[in-house]
Amino acid sequence: MQLDVKMMKIKVMSDQQILEEGFQVLMTHLGPSKTTRFLAACRLGEGDYLKLKDRLFGEETAESLYEKILAYQN
């Protein structure tokens, strides 16, 4: 019996891509307030907080985040 093995290509995500996907999942399911608390509790102190903040919240303001938090809680 012969086995026909074909070449398979596997796409491997970078650590950064996985982190960003994880952040999106957290934001979707926990909302901004709980996501921020979760990240603080994990003590993710490595890296640049300002870059992380920009990736997570983009052009959001404190006021727009507050409105989203209120809407999410209701």
Split at pLDDT 50, 70, 90, the class of 7 is low
Query: pLDDT per residue over 60-74, tens digit each?
Result: 888 888 888 888 888
**Tens-digit pLDDT profile for residues 19-69:** 889 989 999 999 988 988 888 888 766 677 778 778 878 888 888 888 888
DSSP track, 3-62: --PPP-------HHHHHHHHHHHHHHHHHHHHHHHHHHHHT--SS-HHHHHHHHHTT--H
pLDDT band (50, 70, 90) for residue 6? low
- Can you say how many angstroms the Cα of residue 18 is from the centroid of all Cα atoms in its chain? 8
Rounded mean pLDDT of 2-18?
A: 72
Domain residue extents for the chain: 20-73
Instruction: State the residue for tokens 């006021």.
Output: 63
Whole-model pTM: value is: 0.46
